[in-house]
Amino acid sequence: TFEPRSIIVTGGCGFVGSNFVRHVVDNHPGVHVTVLDKLTYAGNPENIAGLPEDRVELVVGDVCDEGLLERLVPGHDAIVHFAAESHNDNSIADPEPFVRTNVVGTYRLLEACRRHDVRYHHVSTDEVYGDLALDDPTRITEETPYRPSSPYSSTKASSDMLVRAWARTYGLRATISNCSNNYGPYQHVEKFIPRQVTNVLCGARPKLYGDGRNVRDWIHAEDHSSAVWEVLTRGRCGETYLIGADGERDNLTVLRTILRLMGRPEDDFDWVRDRPGHDRRYAIDPSKLRRELGWKPLHTDFEAGLEATIAWYRDNEAWWRPAKEATEAACAARGQ
Ligand code: NAD
Ligand code: TDX
């Protein structure tokens, strides 16, 4: 077992990263967290507000900044790398920041870890494996070949490849996890579930892309966090672990559940233009993680998790309201 005392969490002011920081503070009392975050449109310091100052420090900066990494990295036991440009639709409109942050940023972190012999964990996505047909009986495993579809997923795939090469060639102590679609509190309103929930809260109609039959494999962000901690501390270096919680559902079903839970008729939404290159289905086989590390999800009732998430957005309008108008304007500009 690897027992880090001091870790850097990149992207710790984003959705999944901030859930991970809270998870570490709540469950691993001896660990100090340095959050490195550029505070892009997706990063919000409120996501980690109220955590004890002697446990969590925020450093505002860019993972591409080599000089900053050279000052920051020494003295830390591990880097857990969440920072990324994360939204597929943005990557289609303007891929450049995705190449920079996701590919070059990962390269800079790997080099800093190599120079200072720091353990590295790389947070990635199931989207690197591309999509499955709706009727495909198989699921994605660690052996599935990479076949990314979007600018976003291709930059995540590129960064995963760099990690594998640094582990093999330089012997860097590195692991990779590829997780399915997360939901939960603090998710940006550009993403599917928060967008639809906040649309209903605003009195606007939800927007469903294409035919609505695309399948995503949903997992609560807290379960993603506990899995990343297990891989960081007990995973084998050089290995990849898939993270998923058997949560396959199509978008139409998720949307109808949201509408029902919010007291709206199940057909009270608009069909909008499909996403170009839209992946059909993701489905994760998480048996390696369960078998080797004994990990289990806690949030196994999706509808209960969704209900709690809806309640969070209802109670935290001040958190999401400032981003809502600009997000909807960007969607409207592309007919979505
Ligand atoms: P997010 O967009 O909510 O947060 C990204 C964070 O990274 C923000 O705080 C942002 O300010 C920061 N950031 C962006 N560019 C940066 C840079 N150059 N330097 C420093 N910080 C920078 O994203 P998320 O949904 O929380 O995803 C986090 C990670 O988890 C990503 O690597 C993503 O690929 C991965 N992931 C997410 C999901 C999901 O469903 N959300 C699923 C699987 C994997
Ligand atoms: O308004 C919408 N209507 C809609 O039908 C939006 C925003 C999305 N969708 C569809 C597209 C997808 O099939 O819902 C599904 C989920 O969309 P997103 O929330 O944009 O997520 P996705 O593209 O699946 O990617 C997410 O999961 C994997 C994260 O954004 C990635 O960072 C992560 O790697």
pLDDT at residue 5, as a whole number: 98
Give domain status of residue 77, yes or no.
Answer: yes
CA 177 to chain centre: 11
**H-type helices in 131-220, by residue range?**
151-170, 192-202
pLDDT of 196 reads 98
Single out the catalytic residue among 152, 241, 282, 313: 152
Burial of 238 (0-12, 13-18, 19+ CB in 10 A): middle
Report how far residue 292's alpha carbon sits from residue 235's, in angstroms, rounded to the nearest whole number: 8
Ligand 1 binding site (Cβ under 6 Å of any ligand atom)? 10-11, 13-17, 37-40, 42-43, 62-64, 82-86, 101, 105, 123-125, 156, 179, 181-182, 188
Residue 317 has a pLDDT of 98
* β-sheet bridge partners, residue 240: 176
How far is the C-alpha of 184 from the C-alpha of 188, rounded, in Å?
A: 10
| ipTM higher than the 0.90 cut | yes
257: its two tokens: 């559940």
User: In degrees to the nearest 10, what's the CA dihedral of 13, 22, 244, 251?
Assistant: -60
Q: How far is CA 319 from CA 38, 120, 239, 312, in A?
A: 19, 32, 37, 10
Residue 328: active-site member = no
CB 125 within 8 A of CB 178: yes
Residues of the chain with pLDDT under 70: none
In a domain, 267, yes or no: no
So what's the pLDDT on residue 149?
Answer: 98
Beta bridge partners, 78, equal 7, 119
Cα–Cα distance for residue pair 82/304, rounded to 1 Å: 26
Tens digit of pLDDT for each residue in 227-254? Answer: 999 999 999 999 999 999 999 999 999 9
What CA–CA distance (Å, rounded) separates 108 from 66?
Answer: 6
The atom number, within ligand 1, closest to the CA of 83 reads 7
Copy the structure tokens of residue 18.
Answer: 């901030």
Q: 252 lies in a domain?
A: no
Residue showing tokens 């919680």: 245
Identify the pLDDT of residue 64: 98
Are the C-beta atoms of residues 245 and 299 closer than 8 Å to each other?
yes
Q: Which residues contact 215 (CB under 8 A, 6 or more apart)?
A: 134, 248, 249, 250, 251, 280, 281, 282, 283
| Cα gap 296→223, rounded to integer Å | 8
- In the numeric block, which tokens belong to residue 315? 């109670």
- 81 is a domain residue: yes
Per DSSP bridges, beta strands 219-220 and 270-272 are unpaired
Beta bridge partners of 241: 177
Residue 136 lies in a domain: yes
Ligand nearest to the CA of 205: 2
As given in the structure block, the two tokens for residue 77 are 């036991």
Other CB atoms within 10 Å distance of the CB of residue 48: 23
313 in a structural domain: no
Cα–Cα distance list, 323 to 189, 190, 201, 327 (Å): 7, 9, 14, 6
**Dist. CA 182–CA 77, nearest whole Å:** 27
**Ligand 2 centre distance from Cα of residue 174 (Å):** 28
Domains in the chain, number: 1
Token reading at 99: 């190449």
In-domain check, residue 258:
no
Of 140, 236, 221, 137, which Cα lies nearest the Cα of 182? Answer: 221
Q: Which one of 37, 85, 111, 126 is the catalytic residue?
A: 126
CATH number of the domain that residue 48 is part of: 3.40.50.720
How far apart are the CA of 183 and the centre of ligand 2, in A? 11
Write the CA distances from 160 to 47, 138, 207, 297, 313, integer angstroms.
27, 23, 32, 24, 33
Residue 298 lies in a domain: no
> Which ligand 1 atom sits closest to the C-alpha of 16?
26
Write out the residue range of the structural domain in which residue 97 sits. Answer: 6-183+218-243
Report the C-alpha gap between 252 and 212 in whole angstroms: 5
Beta bridge partners of 177: 123, 241
